Chains A and B, each alone.
Chain A
Amino acid sequence: MLTNTLIVTEGTITDFWQALFHPDLGFLRNALLLGLVGSIPLGAVGTFVVARRISYLAAAIAHSVLGGIGGALYAQQVWGWTWLHPMFGALLAALVSASIIGLVSLRSQQREDAVIGAIWVSGMAIGLIFMAKTPGYVDGMAYLFGDILLVTRSDLWIASAVAVFIVAVLLIWHRQIVAVCFDSEFAAIRGVRVEAIYLLLLLLTALTIVMLVSLVGIVLVIALLTLPPAIAALRARSLAQMLGSAVLLTAGFIVFGLWASYSLNLPTGPSIILLAAMVYLLASMRQRFLKD
């Protein structure tokens, strides 16, 4: 406790900046850059997820990613597929589960929420079984809650490419996506391929989740996807405003969360998320207060 307080008073932002440029602390730099690159697709895709109220689907996709990670780790160790990076497994699992979840939510005659819940936990169960059967020690916690030591240079390059791809797709199809989110029947009448656009949105969500898994983990990435747009939505009059504020808020949470985590010696993912959650709470209380 005492040491912590000591570090608080000493861990100023200047120390954080020095650490960022310290040659031995490259992981910190990588984490920050990944967070900043990631804040663009997180804020942009998150805006649509929140506006369309499909956070639950996004959470299901994120959790089922563990199946792909577990499978890839197993294949690396047992089958010697050393080229199969866990992130490729995560990507495959995310795209498959996004497609299944999308089709269920569009077509299902059954209870949609129950089916999606089943996909959510099945994905996790598959991952946990693979991890248990993988020889040697596998740190499942790192994937669930993030570990900035996992962030490598190559992650950063892959993430940047993914971010560029997501932004390009949004620039091209944003009108269709907005129309489908706001009023899918009307969009269909105007000739928009509603189901394809809806699936596209879920696939973008899957990509965004996977690119941030190493930083904040499967469980926490959902909060980073949905909290900043939810805060932005309290004041935004249009989706463009909401999106812009969400990107800035996400970047802010990542920078200050990393700083707090470094200065207070706290785990990174939870620091970022808790910061976002506190700001959300304060912002919505303020909104409440202003209304009354």
Chain B
Amino acid sequence: MKRSETSQESSTESRGQPVVCFDGVSFRYGRHLVLEDADFDIFEGESICVVGPNGGGKSTLLKLMLGLLDPDEGQVSIFGEPPRKGRRLVGYVPQQIEFDPLFPVTALDVVLMGRLRRGNLGFVSKSDRAAAMDSLAQMGLGDQAKQAFASLSGGQRQGVLIARALVANAKLLLLDEPMAHVDVAAEGRLLERLSELDAGLTLITVSHDLAFVSRSVPKVICVNRCVHLHPTAQLTESRIRELYGHDVRMVQHAHEHLDSHGGHHH
């Protein structure tokens, strides 16, 4: 089943246990309060965008979901479990900027890292290799498997990182600025690939790009120390001004972009 067929149903009610649950979560770096009393739930099949200014706590929010950081107060659960257990079902796509461009590794090697488990010793198994090739093919990168990761274009590298995140049958995909370093044409292709993914997959995307938000997702989490979850339609100028602390002019697009179940049809 394709996401686009079900995105409308998923915005209606009754969906059991949340995929992500933040319950009164606060986090500090030293004395600096980064997140204050974050309280929200995200359900299966939802596609959510996280927006907010730099240093507002977006990355902290992702790291809390991944169990890379622990909250000072409150509780985070992923699929009803502590993040360190629940994260085996989470696919994470970090920002491309994090990678050493001189690290010699092929696209296939990168995707195979997604099949690692603790105690997975010795050489790569045939099934791991087959799954990694499938995952690359799904992103349209089957022919690039043996190429050096660093030699690929920004869009292709992003595809490889998404393939790596999905290869272990992730049920929740976290993308950190997925469209940075990706040109417009490649961005369109990536969005299309993402929209073709299984409808049961939950997507959480961190993005600076508010245009991307309005085009692609029905719900938005605004983070600037405080965390608010809105349908994209309710993301008004005054809310954005409040969030970023300066004037932003919103332009209503001609088609259905800002309605509450808008995403995924391009």
* A-side interface mostly: helix
Question: Measured between C-beta atoms, what is the minimum distance from B258 to chain A in Å?
Answer: 34
Contact, CB under 8 Å: B87 / A178: no
List, in ascending order, chain B residues with CB within 8 A of A183's CB: 94, 98-99, 113
In the bound complex, what is the Cα–Cα distance between A193 and B116 (angstroms)? 11
Contact, CB under 8 Å: A191 / B66: no
Q: Which of A32-40, A117-125, A137-145, A169-177 contacts B (4 or more CB under 8 A)?
A: A169-177
Which B residues from 89 to 136 make CB contacts under 8 A with A? 90, 92, 94, 98-100, 102-106, 109-110, 112-114, 116-118, 120-124
In the bound complex, what is the Cα–Cα distance between A190 and B117 (angstroms)? 6
Contact, CB under 8 Å: B106 / A237: yes
Residue B146 at the chain A interface, CB threshold 8 Å: yes
Tell me which of A173, A183, A185, A193 has the highest count of chain B C-beta atoms within 10 A of its own C-beta.
Answer: A183
Contact, CB under 8 Å: A175 / B118: no
Contact, CB under 8 Å: B92 / A236: no
Task: Give the total of B residues in contact with A, Cβ under 8 Å.
Answer: 35
Whether A190 contacts B105 in the complex (CB less than 8 A), given A171-B122, A172-B121, comes out as no
Q: Which residue of B lies closest to A188 (CB)?
A: B68
B109 partner, pick from A53, A193, A239, beta carbons under 8 A: A239
Whether A237 contacts B122 in the complex (CB less than 8 A), given A188-B68, A189-B66, A190-B116, comes out as no
A233 partner, pick from B98, B102, B106, B117, beta carbons under 8 A: B102
Question: Total number of A-B contacts with CB less than 8 angstroms?
Answer: 88
Residue A19 at the chain B interface, CB threshold 8 Å: no
Whether A191 contacts B122 in the complex (CB less than 8 A), given A51-B104, A238-B109, comes out as no
**What mask results when residues 62 to 92 of chain B are scored 1 for a CB within 8 Å of chain A, else 0?**
0000111000000000000000000110101
Contact, CB under 8 Å: A192 / B146: no
Contact, CB under 8 Å: B110 / A182: yes
Contact, CB under 8 Å: B113 / A187: yes
Residue A241 at the chain B interface, CB threshold 8 Å: yes
Contact, CB under 8 Å: B113 / A233: no
List, in ascending order, chain A residues with CB within 8 A of B148's CB: 237-238
Residue A179 at the chain B interface, CB threshold 8 Å: yes
Residue B201 at the chain A interface, CB threshold 8 Å: no
Whether A187 contacts B116 in the complex (CB less than 8 A), given A171-B122, A172-B122, A182-B99, comes out as yes
List, in ascending order, chain A residues with CB within 8 A of B102's CB: 51, 233
Residue A210 at the chain B interface, CB threshold 8 Å: no
Contact, CB under 8 Å: B113 / A182: yes
In the bound complex, what is the Cα–Cα distance between A242 and B94 (angstroms)? 25
In the bound complex, what is the Cα–Cα distance between A171 and B68 (angstroms)? 28
Residue A186 at the chain B interface, CB threshold 8 Å: yes
Contact, CB under 8 Å: A186 / B92: yes
In the bound complex, what is the Cα–Cα distance between A259 and B151 (angstroms)? 39
Question: Measured between C-beta atoms, what is the minimum distance from B154 to chain A in Å?
Answer: 17
Question: Measured between C-beta atoms, what is the minimum distance from B226 to chain A in Å?
Answer: 26
List, in ascending order, chain B residues with CB within 8 A of A191's CB: 88, 116-118
Contact, CB under 8 Å: A186 / B94: yes
Contact, CB under 8 Å: A189 / B87: yes
List, in ascending order, chain B residues with CB within 8 A of A53's CB: 100
Residue A181 at the chain B interface, CB threshold 8 Å: yes
Contact, CB under 8 Å: B122 / A239: no
Question: Measured between C-beta atoms, what is the minimum distance from B156 to chain A in Å?
Answer: 15
Whether A175 contacts B124 in the complex (CB less than 8 A), given A191-B117, A238-B148, comes out as yes
Question: Measured between C-beta atoms, what is the minimum distance from A107 to chain B in Å?
Answer: 15
Tell me which of B67, B92, B105, B123 has the highest count of chain A C-beta atoms within 10 A of its own C-beta.
Answer: B105
Q: Which residue of A lies closest to B104 (CB)?
A: A236
In the bound complex, what is the Cα–Cα distance between A183 and B105 (angstroms)? 12
Which A residues from 35 to 53 make CB contacts under 8 A with B? 51, 53
List, in ascending order, chain B residues with CB within 8 A of A236's CB: 104
List, in ascending order, chain B residues with CB within 8 A of A189's CB: 66-68, 87, 90, 92
Question: Measured between C-beta atoms, what is the minimum distance from B33 to chain A in Å?
Answer: 19
In the bound complex, what is the Cα–Cα distance between A236 and B100 (angstroms)? 15
B103 partner, pick from A181, A190, A241, beta carbons under 8 A: A181
Q: Which residue of B lies closest to A235 (CB)?
A: B104
Q: Which residue of A lies closest to B98 (CB)?
A: A183
Question: Measured between C-beta atoms, what is the minimum distance from B92 to chain A in Å?
Answer: 6
In the bound complex, what is the Cα–Cα distance between A188 and B90 (angstroms)? 12
Question: Measured between C-beta atoms, what is the minimum distance from B244 to chain A in Å?
Answer: 27
Residue B6 at the chain A interface, CB threshold 8 Å: no
Contact, CB under 8 Å: A176 / B106: no
In the bound complex, what is the Cα–Cα distance between A233 and B87 (angstroms)? 34
Residue B147 at the chain A interface, CB threshold 8 Å: yes
Q: Which residue of A lies closest to B128 (CB)?
A: A175
Provide 14 A-B residue pairs closer than 8 Å at the C-beta atoms, listed in order of the A residue. A175-B113, A175-B120, A178-B113, A183-B98, A189-B87, A189-B90, A190-B116, A192-B116, A236-B104, A237-B104, A237-B106, A238-B104, A238-B106, A238-B109
User: CB within 8 Å of A: which residues of B?
Assistant: 66-68, 87-88, 90, 92, 94, 98-100, 102-106, 109-110, 112-114, 116-118, 120-124, 146-148, 151, 164, 168
User: CB within 8 Å of B: which residues of A?
Assistant: 51, 53, 171-173, 175-176, 178-179, 181-183, 185-193, 233, 236-239, 241-242
